[in-house]
Structure 1
């Protein structure tokens, strides 16, 4: 997973900012509610500017509540921000979805268990407030790219992330994983196959029990919600192999996850393609969540 050193370099951030500047082409059909805190400043875990989210809603919507998708950004567990992904929120809202794009705390300030906790708290906030924005909390889905994909998978499979915050059941009804990283960090960090892999001991620490506790591979079950996995045909080998093993694990449990390999796609273009409305990820996502465009 040495690729994660390059997930959000300055060049990619520049491209994402350029896409953000062009989002006005798709902004008119949507409304953005920005910088909503999902952790109060009085909370002991509060970190200014990180535990916030943006909500995107269609400007015109009918009387029926809409499905909700919570998007989690990638960035090696040490970089990234919701502000780079407004184009995803806009595109989803344009297609009949209430989109929630979140930021969360990052390494070295915290480690991955705290990041997962932030993401869970953002989902808890969404279940409690989705109706205020026209969303249906009973149709809540998570989506993520790269490290965000691994976090989304963990939310979908590890129920205790929600029970500790007072929810009786896991509210996630499905997960869309876009070139996900970190599905099995126990395996990855035990092998240490690539130069520079020691850097991941900063976000994950040195305890194998923590590596396992933050890997969705060990929490997926027959009752886990449905998954859609999208993998770049030319992405990094660690993502290809872990995604394939995750699919196999689901299949042994009786599930049939969606699994699409996109020929020629490298890791970064797997998220950049979400600027275009009619790409295959949106097509399959809309079917999963039951969105009715127009």
Structure 2
């Protein structure tokens, strides 16, 4: 989809603008199959299938503080994932401030259901779909993996998400969690959305394996939250690995994902392969 076909997004600060341009440059020339899962242009996804049939799938969501971002930005992840035997699905979702929680969560849940439904079309494994994302997208991926109130509504089994790979994600929006401002996607003050939007407080008895990643120079509260999420999830019986990406700040934690001298891609494919073999 052409970027100008999307609804207008919030003006970007300079650092975010450069990040966007870098991602789009890296994605140039990488073609996928586009599908809609709703009427809004942001309710869409792209499938970058692995040539080998029967591949596991990573459904990955872009970041952008829940106010910006496009599925096209994540196309640069497709070549190394495809080469390692994985299909990539990149999903967009409706953004704040026009749309507030749970609109974006409902969207990624619908995107997951669409991904599930496209398995026969593209020959990938319906029983081996993982979620992941960077920053805001990592938060939404984690929420899909921890909440259990959306699968049945969409005709999916409770264990449809087989694993989760958030990068630099927020896991807690409650007061004292370390965020300097209340994210606008949560809606106005006084609306009880902080707990329902926080993966930390959605951990139940059935949580799939996680690979929680963040940069060594990432926002301090995200590193703390990632470790706390891992500790709580492990205490409840979940399998959670953590990965600190050396030399990466919040932006570079994603930009380094495909670099062979950085650990994320190797760790991610190893993690998904191990889980898929056990299914």
> Same fold by TM-score, threshold 0.5 exceeded?
yes
Structure 2: segments with no counterpart, 5+ residues: 1-11
The 2-side partners of 1:237 and 1:208 are apart by 27
After superposition, the Cα gap between the structure-2 partners of 1:263 and 1:168, relative to the gap in structure 1 and judged at 3 Å, is closer
Q: Is the 8 A contact 1:77 1:112 kept in 2?
A: no
| Correspondence for 2:208 among 225, 228, 233 | 225
| Correspondence for 1:149 among 138, 150, 154 | 138
The 2-side partners of 1:215 and 1:193 are apart by 13
The 2-side partners of 1:169 and 1:232 are apart by 31
Q: Relative contact order (C-alpha < 8 Å, sep 6+): which is higher?
A: 1
> Any idea what the Cα deviations from partners look like across 1:121-175, whole Å, max 9, x if unmatched?
0001111112210110100100111011111000001011222223242410000
- The reply to whether residue 175 of structure 1 matches residue 164 of structure 2 is yes
| Correspondence for 1:240 among 219, 223, 231 | 223
The 2-side partners of 1:277 and 1:32 are apart by 23
After superposition, the Cα gap between the structure-2 partners of 1:13 and 1:274, relative to the gap in structure 1 and judged at 3 Å, is same
Aligned twin of 2:44: 52
- The reply to whether residue 159 of structure 1 matches residue 151 of structure 2 is no
SS in 1 for 2:217: coil
Residues paired across the two proteins, number: 264
| Correspondence for 1:206 among 189, 192, 195 | 189
Give 1:88 shift.
1.2
Instruction: Show the 5 A alignment for 1:45-194.
Output: 46-47=39-40, 49-58=41-50, 60-61=51-52, 64-181=53-170, 183-188=171-176, 194=180
Give 1:203 shift.
3.9
Moved over 4 A (4+): 5-8
> Any idea what the Cα deviations from partners look like across 1:239-290, whole Å, max 9, x if unmatched?
0111111011012113341111122210000000124356422212212222
Aligned twin of 1:38: 37
The 1-side partners of 2:42 and 2:165 are apart by 23
User: More helix by proportion, 1 or 2?
Assistant: 1
- The reply to whether residue 262 of structure 1 matches residue 245 of structure 2 is yes
Structure 1: segments with no counterpart, 5+ residues: 40-45
SS in 2 for 1:254: coil
Q: Is the 8 A contact 1:8 1:79 kept in 2?
A: no
Q: Is the 8 A contact 2:142 2:164 kept in 1?
A: yes
The 2-side partners of 1:102 and 1:90 are apart by 17
Aligned twin of 2:22: 15
The 2-side partners of 1:175 and 1:187 are apart by 25
Deviates more, 1:202-211 or 1:96-105: 202-211
SS in 1 for 2:128: strand
Superposition RMSD in Å: 2.3
User: More strand by proportion, 1 or 2?
Assistant: 1
Give 1:186 shift.
1.8
| Correspondence for 1:287 among 270, 276, 279 | 270
The 2-side partners of 1:269 and 1:258 are apart by 20
